[in-house]
Amino acid sequence: MSLSAADRVTKNNIWIMGNPSTLHYAGLIMVGDTRISEEVVTAATNGRDIIYNPHFVNSLTDPQLRGLVLHENLHKAYSHLFLWQSLYKEDADRANRACDFVINLEIKDLDPSGREIALPPHPCLDEQYRGMDTKQVFDLLMQDPNGGKGMGHTDQHMWDDAQALPEEEKQALSKEIDNAVRQGAFMAGKLNGQVSRGFNALMEPKLDWRELLRDYVSSVCVGKGTSTWARPNRRYLSMDLYLPSQISEAIGGIAIVVDTSGSVNAELLTKFMAEIIGIAENTQPEALHLICCDGDVASHDIYMQDNYHALAAVREFKGGGGTDMRKALDYIEEHKLNVEVVVILTDGYTPYPDRLSKPVLWAMTEKHMTAPIGSTIHLN
């Protein structure tokens, strides 16, 4: 009697969790729920849960099914559906393919012969993308009129479902995945298993902090903007250029909180503010709130859409006392500032809040520090 699709998935999950070349993925398989349903054509993930189509599962050999299982779990490992929301909003099809090109190379490297682990038919697979992250692949696909369309999709990426997860669930999931990755690598080392190069990279992210900063803010605060000639863009009138202004619908602001306790130097602030100006110009929030905070809020300046460029001239940041970034978050809530996201530039030596009412990104200068709540990137 042949196994059901559910039994076949379980059987190959167990194979992956027990094989020396793949046991480092064992923890990831335990993250989220897995179910069998005809609501998807092949397989799908929202970055946490996985759905397999029973007919597609039964059309695959065991090596191909192992490749499919690894494919779905690597989407989880790399946080594709959370980290690259802005790519999805720019071009959904190319974003899907870019994610697949990255992880399929890693799967192929696990067993180049394909005897025990193989990819499902017609995968997105191309050696030219080796060593690249999803954004780099996406940029190349955007330059290609074909955009990799000669290759099929292995699965569906449930971007909207991922974005709809409550912020606290996203943060809990991020920690669960990180723990699963590290535990898997530990077990592989303890049992003399092999850990793939890509998996090792998950524990030492190589993405530039500027790219992470831009993508995080863009994914949270992306405008529904339209151009209007009725209100010319005043920034370009002095150059005799009559260009349309941007109208943003229902988009709030961005709050930038600068830890002014003395741990952030002027050179880093200059680089940081340059990135923030670029983000503001691209996302077009209704306002950018620049808040200086040490042991308390020292200043609050507001920049509107037509003078974001004035941030480049900011050289003085008020403060110099103790450090408590909770005061800035309390200030934002108490004054009911209409902001979509809060970015906090700090060394990390601060008390942390127990809860967050808005998405918060901690931009840390100390690489060994990670905020216990919200998201963290490390500046260099």
pLDDT truncated to tens, each residue of the chain (380 aa)?
588 999 999 999 999 988 888 888 888 999 999 999 999 999 999 999 999 999 999 999 999 999 999 999 999 988 899 888 888 888 999 999 999 999 999 999 999 999 999 999 999 999 999 988 888 899 899 988 776 666 666 789 999 999 899 878 887 888 888 888 777 777 666 545 555 555 555 555 445 666 777 777 777 765 444 444 444 544 444 434 444 444 444 467 889 998 887 666 666 676 677 777 777 777 778 899 999 998 899 999 999 888 877 776 776 777 767 789 999 999 999 999 999 889 998 888 889 999 988 889 898 877 777 888 888 888 76
In a domain, 211, yes or no: no
Domain end position, chosen among 150, 170, 205? 205
Backbone angles phi, psi at 320, to 5 degrees: 120, 0
Q: Could you give the angle at which helices 266-283 and 209-220 cross, rounded to 10 degrees?
A: 40
Residues 245 and 160 in one domain: no
Residues 199 and 234 in one domain: no
Q: Residue 248: its pLDDT value, please? A: 43
Taking the alpha carbons of 184, 189, 193, 196 in that order, is the dihedral positive or negative? positive
| Secondary structure tally for the chain: helices H, strands E | 14, 12
Full domain range(s) for residue 154: 5-205
* pTM for the whole structure: 0.57
- Per the structure, the count of domains in the chain is 2
In a domain, 11, yes or no: yes
Residues 244 and 340 in one domain: yes
Domain end position, chosen among 158, 179, 205? 205
Query: Whole-angstrom Cα distance, residue 290 to residue 311?
Result: 9
Residues 287 and 178 in one domain: no
In a domain, 340, yes or no: yes
Query: Whole-angstrom Cα distance, residue 181 to residue 175?
Result: 10
In a domain, 339, yes or no: yes
Q: Are 123 and 100 in contact (CB under 8 A)?
A: yes
Query: Whole-angstrom Cα distance, residue 13 to residue 42?
Result: 17
In a domain, 210, yes or no: no
Query: Whole-angstrom Cα distance, residue 286 to residue 340?
Result: 10
Radius of gyration of the chain (CA): 23
Domain end position, chosen among 140, 173, 205? 205
